Structure 1
Amino acid sequence: MQAIILAAGEGSRMRPLTASRPKVMLPVAGRPFLEHIILRARAAGADRIVLVVGYCSDAVRSYFGDGSSLGLKIEY
């Protein structure tokens, strides 16, 4: 199953926390918020994730890569 996650946006209302990283990369319980969402999608049966990224997308891409470390495929 494929899941599409909207992970774009500057997070201007969360400044200064988002001055150098996207809001989806803010840590929650020791890992980026987006990782929690991806893991929930995987638990629901997703094996392929499409991330729609924008602001500071390089931070998201460098952290998650192709998704193999999480046991699924991630495309951007």
Structure 2
Amino acid sequence: MSTPPKTQAERSRASEARSIKAGAVRMPGGLLSTEAARALADLVASGYAASKTAVIERALLEAKGKHLER
């Protein structure tokens, strides 16, 4: 007997579980200030990164690199 194919939701949860096991962190929801929200939207629109999450990830890694270079 073969197992039925997984739904998109099941594949997504499995992918998320693998990411968390590898060290990823789920961030809680919250509000950005108007200025930060506009900056985030502008960075996505300018191609800095492909998504809001990708902008935040890239900015964090760049800031870490600059901060730790001191």
Q: What band does the TM-score fall into relative to the shorter chain?
A: under 0.3
Task: Give the TM-score normalised by the residue count of structure 2.
Answer: 0.26
Structure ranking higher on relative contact order (CA contacts 8 Å, 6+ apart): 1
Greater share of residues in strand? 1
Which is higher, the Rg of structure 1 or of structure 2? Answer: 2
